[in-house]
Amino acid sequence: METKPTETSVSKMFEGYNKRYKHFSPTLGCSMTFHIYFPPSPSPSHKFPVLYWLSGLTCTDENFIIKSGAQRAASAEGVALIAPDTSPRGLNVEGEADSWDFGVGAGFYLNATQEKWKNWRMYDYVVKELPKLLSENFPQLDTSRESIFGHSMGGHGALTIYLKNLDKYKSVSAFAPIANPVNCPWGHKAFSNYLGSNKADWEEYDATSLISKCKNVSATILIDQGEDDKFLHDQLLSHKFEAACKSANVPLILRLQPGYDHSFYFIATFIDDHIRHHAKALKL
């Protein structure tokens, strides 16, 4: 099985290129796809800093690339975008596709500890395997300069991965993240199945819980949240994360955007601000 990435599609956009790749993941035990947006290069030897996008429930690696419009600002700022998939696929685990908010398309960017879901190790895939794969196969990427952001479940993933790896990522941001999953229905469903009944294990993948354990978070966290998001009050709980940041003196910009919902229309509206937020950190 080929672990080296194979290019499966390419499209030009804002003078750069969206490229999709397929490879076998030893971490997940299946074939995976991911997208890279390469900005236009000023020289053959130029290396781009890397910005990972983590998508939300039901998404693949394609949704962000097709719908966000992020390539315009990424091209202008000279930042490469990396968009992985959201879960293992094709393993045919019983029940993996029974619901839209668990299993396939819903990996929650954690390492499952329950035997049935042992291949659901999206945390290790995003934090360890994918960066190594990029470093070994794409000399135009500078994987020593990395940042991370995401939406909804992917916002949860970006925040928790950043907070657990402060030495690895230069910055983090999120759109409508699931900010306190130990206290919401999505989190209860995912964590009880993937991690078991021990709530202490759940807290290791909860941004609001992790904030209290973090020391020396110096980079400002940026979050945009639509005020008309139907998931805001029962699933996302951004106010809990805001309170935790305030208590721990962690710098946070939480922007509540009137009239905006949970969709890619919301993401596309504010994506340029997020790209610039990361570009500034990556170029320091």
Residue 159's closest CA among 114, 211, 113? Answer: 211
| Eight-class DSSP state of 102 | B
Residue 5's closest CA among 47, 37, 35? Answer: 35
Residue 229 designated active-site: yes
Residue 152 designated active-site: yes
Burial code (b: 16+ CB inside 10 Å, e: under 16) for 128-166 equals ebbbebbeeebeebbbebbbbbbbbbbbbbbbbbbbbee
Q: How far is CA 150 from the centre of its chain?
A: 4
Here the tokens at position 89 are 């696929």
- Measured distance CA(195)–CA(64) in Å, rounded: 28
Of residues 229, 238, 277, 278, which has the active-site annotation? 229
Beta bridge partners of 164: none
- Measured distance CA(251)–CA(162) in Å, rounded: 14
If DSSP codes are grouped into helix, strand and coil, which group holds residue 173? strand
Q: Which residues contact 9 (CB under 8 A, 6 or more apart)?
A: 18, 19, 20
Of residues 87, 152, 171, 173, which has the active-site annotation? 152
Q: How far apart are the first and last CA of the chain?
A: 39
Here the tokens at position 255 are 């922007």
- Measured distance CA(170)–CA(278) in Å, rounded: 8
Of residues 23, 35, 156, 262, which has the active-site annotation? 262
Instruction: Give helix then strand counts, H and E, for the chain.
Output: 10, 9
| Eight-class DSSP state of 114 | S
The catalytic site residues sit at: 152, 229, 262
